[in-house]
Amino acid sequence: MCSATRTPRIATFMLAMPALSLVAGLIVFPTVGLFVLSLAENFSPGDPVDQFFAGRFGWANYVRLVTDEFVIGRLLRTLVIGAIVTLGTFIVGVPLAMALWRMSGRAKALLLAVTLTPLLVSIVVSAYGWSVLLGQRGIVNETLRSLGLISRPLKLMHSDIAIIIGLVHILLPFMVLNLLAALERVPRVVLEAASTLGASPLRVHAAITLPLAAAGTRSGVLLVFSLAVAAFVTPAILGGNGTPVFPMVIYDQFSGSFQWAYGAALAIALLAISSVIVALYLATARRGTY
Amino acid sequence: MIEGSIPALELQGVTKRFGATTAVDNLSLTVTRGEFIALLGASGCGKTSTLRMIAGLEQASAGTIRIRGEDVTTLPTHRRDIGMVFQSLALFPHMTVADNVGFGLRMRGRNTADIEREVKSALELVRLSGYENRLPASISGGQQQRVALARALAARPTILLLDEPFSALDRKLREELTLEFAELLRRVEATTVFVTHDQEEAFAMSQRVAVMQAGRVLQLDAPTAIFLRPADVDVARFVGMTNVLDATVDASGRNATSALGLVPLATLFEPGQQIAIGVRPEHVRPGDATGTTAVTFSATVRSTAFRGRHVSVILALERRGLGETRIDMLLPHGVMTPRNGEAIRCCIDAAVVHVMAAV
Amino acid sequence: MLRWATFAWLGLTLVFIAAPTLIAIVVAFSSAELVKFPPDGYTFKWFASAWGKELFWRAALVSLLVALSAMAITVPAGVAAALAIRRSSVATRRMLELVFMSPLLVPAIVLSLAILVGSVLIGATDAPLRLWAAHSIIVLPYVVRTTLASLAGMPPGVEEAAATQGASPWQVFRYITLPLITPGVLAGAAFAFIISFDNVSVSLFLVNQKTPTLPLAIMNYVEYNFDPSVAAISTTMVALSLAVAWLVERMVGLRRILQ
């Protein structure tokens, strides 16, 4: 853990400089720029930059945001979808995480690899796969048809259901990894002690494993929720017409209605919401020290 | 001190503070050339911090450190002429044994032919000739130990530092290596500072031992002196002289009264002075007095335990007005083990009574 | 009984996870013109057709260049940052870790828009430049993480041992630290490559419509075309991603990076 010999502060600072500059220039500066844009009150995208700075600035866009029924409605909708997705990943993730926790060696490595595939494969590939599965003449519909369970194809694609399925698929690895980490922090020997004291496997899990793994569970839930709420690509590909979720509303401001300043305000709002969730996540996630 | 002979290592008033805790407290120590000295103590006594300050891996909060007369207190580690064997050995996993051992020479800018030669002789010294091209992962724990030592010695440093190097080994290997290393280091006349919590190891290998506690040196002496004549009650307890009793010097100044009765003293003391009497458990003998006996007493056996090499017996000595005093006794084979509850007579020779300052 | 239920549920879960990818691969090899499942026959023709289209291999080239150039700046910066973190006090360490993880914590769409706006503000609206910038920053956390994991994985005390052997701080780095962390750093770079190559959300606003990255080219193509060429390209991408992921797992372990 301890590094080599006494290290001069200046060297440490210089080592961090390049990466810090990247963050400053590519995260901090752009975000500030976005925020400044959100304060512009009479800006249109075609305007040259100097005219932008000469314009009026104020909170008008935010006022509009807060009073815009449609936008607020979409935001709430997004939060609901996010909650459903989080619940879905939790329900599907817990058995998987527990199975992984009990495994070791090759089997575990293999299962883990499969679990991580949604992360390793581009979103477009997954979305394409879902479109084939869920389409009007896709696998799910054809199978249900041939089994005689339905007479007309279900509209699965381009719907909220598709969004939810797609997001659960993409975010499952995050949930599983968090849960697994939390479970692995539970010392096995404590569980063994509980069974020597007479607790059946179910009671051991209920009384010991669950409380001890709770912190990791909280962090997994928060992480998935923050990612689900901010998701754009999956809803864009799998979602229905219009703008079913908040990020798509933001997109629309920039590409559809050309209300860049308003869009910027919406983006900052999303950032704010996401930051709150992330802050909670960081507070509950116990990171290992290096 | 012979004029012109500079000590290999000198610590003066060295102190190390970590925030509110003082790990090493005003420690002074001199090590002469070729001497093997051990820093002995339980964990947390400051011995490792001291070693690391000598190595330069930690900065002293106060005091000076001199190696061969040169003040190195603020000199970075790589410029001090030292060799160190770490507790975890820390062999370079990506280098062969030869590269590991030759690393120090390489850093000192020696040419390839020289390095090869020195590596060869260093490996011969630790009886690992022919292992040059092996990787650390492919050799046994004991062999890794030897490579670590060879690496530390190859560049013939002024001072060799050993940080509990044997702690990861099993008992048998430890015993073997301890003697081998001690003999080896004596042969090459390496000035060595050795940190350990194991008394036997420290006594077996060193010419002098510094018993440390709470950042201070309690006693710096030859092993036999520490063992038989601990400087104070703390050292006494540490080296197993567990029978420590309060005593008061009587009017004659030649005896002291204690729970054991009247104890004759080897030298004249101030009458009325409070002292502490120490007796090792193996020096308490059951049976009647002989010509050399100084103290006799009767006690009841409270418990006995067979420990393989000895039988340990706990006795309760009753004295009117003083209540019950616990006396530990260690019996070798061949002596009848008393039964619990039995009342027996014991005696102690004059020569083994040790006097210390009162607690 | 419970056992079987658990197995069944787990099996279903795994099918769920693997389904889209597997479908894409199967469709890529199917012989029918329209996407159909199960396929009538198997063929390689879609691969030929897909990679024959200029639009796709040009996009692949763009993705490749962006990924490589992003790595070129991020890997050195990230390794240096990891070294800095390791040398810092506990408090500074946490702060730095947070700062370098920040790209992961900002919603992708917000980041993409922010960089767009930022680039307009300073007048640097060149698409390749913006892409390079955006991909560099999203890849940084992964490089920093893998390097930190590598540094932690070094045998304890080797750097101190080297110092006691007379190696100056620079020599310690050159002869001990660097060789020992290189596998991990390479793994991080490889992982960064996949992340960049596969990325959609950040690239969305920053590409030049005429020269999109490969994932975006796929997205555009799918809007108007229904042949399995897309599946073929996707399969190639999957193969690439999995190959790199396997490499990373062998070197350092995927879990270390993703937690």
pLDDT one-digit tens code per residue, C108-118:
999 999 998 88
Helices (H), ranges, A39-122 = 49-54, 60-67, 69-102, 105-120
- The answer to whether position A6 is within a domain reads no
End-to-end CA, chain B: 34
State pLDDT tens for residues A208-238.
Answer: 777 777 777 888 899 899 999 999 988 988 8
- The answer to whether position C63 is within a domain reads yes
- The pLDDT > 70 percentage for chain B reads 99
Angle at C143 (CA atoms; ends C140, C144), nearest 5 degrees: 85
Q: A201 to chain C nearest CA, in Å?
A: 13
- For residue A147, what pLDDT is reported? 80
- For residue B3, what pLDDT is reported? 46
* Band of residue C100 on the pLDDT scale cut at 50, 70, 90: very high
Q: Contact B249/B270 with Cβ under 8 angstroms? A: yes
- The answer to whether position A62 is within a domain reads no
* Contact partners, residue A105, CB within 8 Å, separation at least 6: none
* Band of residue C259 on the pLDDT scale cut at 50, 70, 90: low
Q: Is the Cα dihedral A188, A194, A195, A196 positive or negative?
A: positive
- The answer to whether position C48 is within a domain reads no
Strand partners, A88: none
Judged by average pLDDT, the poorest of A142-146, A163-167, B164-168, C189-193 is A142-146
**What is the C-alpha separation between A210 and A101, in angstroms, rounded?**
13
CB contact under 8 A, A4 and C162: yes
Nearest CB to C162 within list B83, B103, B108: B103
User: Could you list the residue range(s) of the whole structural domain that residue C26 is in?
Assistant: 1-43
* Averaged confidence pLDDT in chain A: 83
Decide if pLDDT at C254 tops 70: no
Q: Contact C143/C78 with Cβ under 8 angstroms? A: yes
User: What CATH number does residue C117 fall under?
Assistant: 1.10.3720.10
Q: C78 to chain A nearest CA, in Å?
A: 6
Decide if pLDDT at A1 tops 50: no
User: Could you tell me the two tokens for C24?
Assistant: 């894409």
* Band of residue A52 on the pLDDT scale cut at 50, 70, 90: low
Nearest CB to B107 within list C156, C158, C171: C171
Decide if pLDDT at C173 tops 70: yes
**Residue A56: enclosing H or E segment and its boundaries?**
none
Q: Is the Cα dihedral B335, B338, B344, B347 positive or negative?
A: positive
Q: Do C20 and C84 belong to one domain?
A: no
- The answer to whether position C166 is within a domain reads yes
State pLDDT tens for residues C23-68.
Answer: 888 888 776 666 565 666 677 777 777 777 888 888 889 999 999 9
User: Could you tell me the two tokens for A179?
Assistant: 């849960």
Strand partners, B64: B12
Q: Do C20 and C103 belong to one domain?
A: no
Decide if pLDDT at B47 tops 80: yes
Chain A residues whose CB is inside 8 A of the B107 CB are none
Smallest CA-to-CA distance from B299 within B313, B289, B311, B309 is with B313
Chain C residues whose CB is inside 8 A of the B93 CB are 155, 158, 180
* Contact partners, residue B196, CB within 8 Å, separation at least 6: B38, B39, B40, B47, B164, B166, B167, B202
Angle at C212 (CA atoms; ends C207, C216), nearest 5 degrees: 100
Q: Tabulate helix, strand, coil % of chain C (nearest 5).
A: 80, 0, 20
Residue C258: other Cβ atoms inside 10 A: 15
- The answer to whether position A173 is within a domain reads yes
- The answer to whether position C138 is within a domain reads yes
- The answer to whether position C71 is within a domain reads yes
Q: Do C81 and C26 belong to one domain?
A: no
* Contact partners, residue B190, CB within 8 Å, separation at least 6: B34, B36, B153, B160
Question: What's this model's pTM, rounded to 2 decimal places?
Answer: 0.79
Number of domains composing chain C = 2
Q: Do C2 and C127 belong to one domain?
A: no
Q: Contact B113/C173 with Cβ under 8 angstroms? A: no
- The pLDDT > 70 percentage for chain A reads 91
Strand partners, A57: A40
- The answer to whether position C231 is within a domain reads yes
Q: Do C27 and C61 belong to one domain?
A: no
- What's the average model confidence in pLDDT over C101-124? 88
* Averaged confidence pLDDT in chain C: 85
Q: In what order do the strands lie in the sheet with B311-319?
A: B285-286, B343-349, B293-306, B311-319, B323-331
Question: What 3 state SS string does chain B have?
Answer: CCCCCCCCEEEEEEEEEECCEEEEEEEEEEECCCCEEEEECCCCCCHHHHHHHHHCCCCCCEEEEEECCEECCCCCHHHCCEEEECCCCCCCCCCCHHHHHHHHHHHCCCCHHHHHHHHHHHHHHCCCCCCCCCCHHHCCHHHHHHHHHHHHHHCCCCEEEEECCCCCCCHHHHHHHHHHHHHHHHHCCCEEEEEECCHHHHHHHCCEEEEEECCEEEEEECHHHHHHCCCCHHHHHHCCCCEEEEEEECCCCCEEEECCEEEECCCCCCCCCEEEEEECHHHCEECCCCCCEEEEEEEEEEEEEECCCCEEEEEEEEECCCEEEEEEEEECCCCCCCCCCCEEEEEEEHHHCEEEECC
Chain B residues whose CB is inside 8 A of the C173 CB are none
Best mutation target among B57, B61, B163 (most A Cβ atoms within 10 Å) is B57
- What's the average model confidence in pLDDT over A86-100? 91
**What is the C-alpha separation between C29 and C18, in angstroms, rounded?**
17
Q: Contact B214/B45 with Cβ under 8 angstroms? A: yes
User: Could you tell me the two tokens for C193?
Assistant: 């490559």
Q: Do C168 and C234 belong to one domain?
A: yes
- For residue B170, what pLDDT is reported? 85
- The answer to whether position A171 is within a domain reads yes
- The answer to whether position C182 is within a domain reads yes
Decide if pLDDT at B251 tops 70: yes
Residue A214: other Cβ atoms inside 10 A: 12
**What is the C-alpha separation between A7 and C160, in angstroms, rounded?**
12
CB contact under 8 A, C218 and A124: yes
* Band of residue C253 on the pLDDT scale cut at 50, 70, 90: low
Beta strands in chain A (DSSP E): none
- The answer to whether position A194 is within a domain reads yes
Domain closes at, from C43, C61, C76: C43
State pLDDT tens for residues B70-128.
Answer: 999 988 888 888 999 988 888 898 889 999 999 989 888 889 999 999 999 999 999 99
Chain C residues whose CB is inside 8 A of the A277 CB are none
Chain A residues whose CB is inside 8 A of the C96 CB are 16
* Band of residue C119 on the pLDDT scale cut at 50, 70, 90: confident
Q: Do C133 and C241 belong to one domain?
A: yes
Helix (H, G, I), strand (E, B), or coil: what is residue A96?
helix
Strand partners, A235: none
CB contact under 8 A, B151 and C165: yes
Judged by average pLDDT, the poorest of A6-15, B265-274, B305-314, B332-341 is A6-15
Q: B193 to chain C nearest CA, in Å?
A: 14
Q: Which residue of B has its CA nearest to A8?
A: B76
Nearest CB to C87 within list A3, A250, A254: A3
Q: Do C134 and C253 belong to one domain?
A: yes
Number of domains composing chain A = 1
- What's the average model confidence in pLDDT over A34-47? 78
Helix (H, G, I), strand (E, B), or coil: what is residue A57?
strand
- What's the average model confidence in pLDDT over B228-246? 91
**What is the C-alpha separation between C237 and A228, in angstroms, rounded?**
24
**What is the C-alpha separation between C59 and C62, in angstroms, rounded?**
5
- For residue A3, what pLDDT is reported? 37
- What's the average model confidence in pLDDT over A73-86? 94
- What's the average model confidence in pLDDT over B188-199? 91
User: What CATH number does residue A263 fall under?
Assistant: 1.10.3720.10
**What is the C-alpha separation between A235 and A283, in angstroms, rounded?**
29
Best mutation target among A21, A37, A124, A246 (most C Cβ atoms within 10 Å) is A124
Q: Contact A5/A25 with Cβ under 8 angstroms? A: no
**What is the C-alpha separation between B143 and B231, in angstroms, rounded?**
39
Q: B59 to chain A nearest CA, in Å?
A: 8
User: Could you tell me the two tokens for B332?
Assistant: 């070798």
User: Using alpha carbons only, how large is chain C's radius of gyration in Å?
Assistant: 22
**What is the C-alpha separation between B202 and B193, in angstroms, rounded?**
11
- The answer to whether position A92 is within a domain reads yes
- For residue C163, what pLDDT is reported? 92
Q: Do C31 and C61 belong to one domain?
A: no
State pLDDT tens for residues B302-330.
Answer: 999 988 888 899 999 888 777 888 999 99
Between positions 183 and 242 of C, the ones with CB within 8 A of A are 194, 197-201, 204-205, 215, 218-219, 222, 230-231, 234, 237-238, 241-242
Decide if pLDDT at A290 tops 50: no
CB contact under 8 A, A5 and B59: no
- The answer to whether position C102 is within a domain reads yes
Decide if pLDDT at B1 tops 60: no
Decide if pLDDT at C92 tops 80: yes
Choose from A193-202, B308-317, C203-212 the range with maximum mean pLDDT: B308-317
Nearest CB to B88 within list C155, C169, C175: C155
Q: Contact B233/B244 with Cβ under 8 angstroms? A: yes
Q: C178 to chain B nearest CA, in Å?
A: 11
CB contact under 8 A, B87 and C157: yes
- The answer to whether position A20 is within a domain reads no
Q: Do C38 and C62 belong to one domain?
A: no
Q: Contact C185/C150 with Cβ under 8 angstroms? A: yes
- The answer to whether position A165 is within a domain reads yes
- What's the average model confidence in pLDDT over B225-236? 91
- For residue C37, what pLDDT is reported? 59
Q: Which residue of C has its CA nearest to B53?
A: C164
**Residue A231: enclosing H or E segment and its boundaries?**
none
Decide if pLDDT at C139 tops 70: yes
- For residue A138, what pLDDT is reported? 76
CB contact under 8 A, A6 and B76: yes
